Amino acid sequence: MQIHVAPTDCGFSLEIGGDYFRAPPCEFRYPRDIWQAYPAKAALIRELAYITTLATPLILEHPRVSYDTPRPLLFERYRALFAQAIPNLVEAIPAHSSSEVFARFHALHHHFAGNADTEALPLQGWNPRRAVLPLSFGKDSLLSLATLRELGYEVIPVSIDERMLPRGTALREPLMARLRREHDLECLSLVNEIQLLSDHEVLKTPPTRLYQVQVHFIYALAMLPYCSYFGAPLIVLSNELLPGLDKVQREGYLLPQRYMQGEEANLEMDRMVQELSAGQVRVANPIGALGNLAIHTLLHRHFPEFGAYQVSCHLEVTQHTRWCHDCERCSHAYLYFRALGLDPLAYGFEHSLLDGSNDHHFVTTAPLPHIDDAHRRFLRGEERVAAWRARRRGEEFPAWTPQQLDEATDAADYLLALHRQAHHPLETAAHTLYERLLRPHYAG
């Protein structure tokens, strides 16, 4: 498999050649003025060409891949993070096993056109109160946006269009216009057509989730041109607590539910961005100490002007207009709206998700989690606190037993407690803000 990369006026294009598989050029495209002003184009293309195709030879089960770009500076570190995440990637695909994917991953042979030079972002001036935020219009990035504004940061939101989710993209376009109109926030774009080369439907291969790791690299490293253009020395990720808690995986592995959204991977992303920017740009994750219930409480009780934008991320698999109504995220959002005394129908839900039909999306209605499964145990505690509060507001749970509906947990553990150490001044300030705002809620 041969991967050919060519610079463009707005980024770069990438095509796949060779006898085994061919694909026409796909673009990685920035706003033209932002890309033209970026002083370290070749270095970033070198990294992104590998990142964006990291999973493609694995999905196609091709053992050799040749790039006409130099070896990425952070090559081994990308591979180390990917390897850590493999049990997550096969979790929902019974036809895959970690051992089989591990073996294929480590057997991959890469050839590059020489070694990377040490070109990094030249020294420049920065505004320490300015931040770049990848914005999906999900609850997590919306709370990050609200937090940054509350703390006095100037925010540069970036919407990433991966061309894999056309319905979701179409829904977000009017939200971007509303954001500009209502909050004077211009949401910039980043188009990543290359993500299609890791889509199993495009590649005509069996279903896979091997493409998920590279998305997290892009959310951090691909933000550097925006940072340079606006003099913003901070990239803000929006990874909540739950994906970073240990979960017993299908094959028996005990590791974070989504390794790439956990604390260890976030800290490594910070180190990588610093290396590519000569130490000038950092990565921070203000919401990393918060669970789902706390995020919904903050977003919809304290920042409703941003909570009003929240949408589901599963819109490609439904005919509903805003929420898919059949996933864990939608089910929990509905429950937490009811716990907060908010009408889910006013937020775009079209029917109840607590009538028993969605019980398979709740941990509370399943057998007790394993003693070491911190992810499911925390989620179960959140659900029970929320259900207890929703019942006080008249909600019925026809399929839940009285034992499942007993609170039997301290709400402060799921609303007030901050479960991660702060690693950046933004995170410290965010934790202080969250504790002040959440304290009145934990007693009821």
Domain segments of the chain as ranges = 2-135+142-284, 290-295+311-441
What tokens appear for 272 in the block?
A: 């990588």
List the structure tokens of 314: 């599963």
pLDDT at residue number 317: 47
Phi, psi torsion values for 268, nearest 5 degrees? -65, -35
Distance CA 439, CA 351 (A): 32
Closest CA to 139 of 257, 284, 290, 266: 290
CA distance 327 to 330: 5
Count of CB atoms within 10 A of residue 204's CB? Answer: 8
What pLDDT sits at residue 170?
A: 77
Tokens matching residue 94:
């019974």
Structure tokens at 126: 């920065």
Q: Give the number of other CB atoms < 10 A from CB of residue 394.
A: 8
Helix axes 41-52, 263-276, angle to 10 degrees: 150
Is the sign of the CA dihedral 188, 192, 193, 198 positive or negative? negative
Q: 26: which strand partners? A: 14
CB-facing half-sphere around the CA of 220: CA atoms within 13 A:
30
Read off the tokens for 333. 């959002």
User: CA 306 to CA 161: how far, in whole Å?
Assistant: 21
pLDDT for residue 113? 93
pLDDT tens for the 444 residues of the chain, in order: 999 999 999 999 999 988 777 888 999 999 999 999 999 999 999 999 999 999 999 999 999 999 999 999 999 999 999 999 999 988 888 888 999 999 999 999 999 998 877 667 888 899 999 999 999 999 999 999 999 999 999 999 999 988 666 666 777 889 999 999 999 999 999 999 998 888 877 788 888 888 888 899 999 999 999 999 999 999 999 999 999 999 998 888 899 999 999 999 999 999 999 999 999 999 999 999 999 999 999 999 999 999 999 886 555 444 556 778 888 888 999 999 999 999 999 888 888 998 888 889 999 888 888 999 999 999 998 998 888 888 888 888 887 887 777 655 566 677 766 777 889 999 999 999 999 999 888 765
Place of tokens 């096969």: 90
Give dist(CA 402, CA 404) in Å, integer. 5
Q: Distance between CA atoms of 59 and 285, rounded to whole angstroms? A: 30
- Full DSSP string of 302-364: I-HHHHTT---S-GGG-S-SS--SSSHHHHHHHHHHHHTT--GGGGT--S-S-SSTTGGG-ST
CA distance 360 to 326: 10
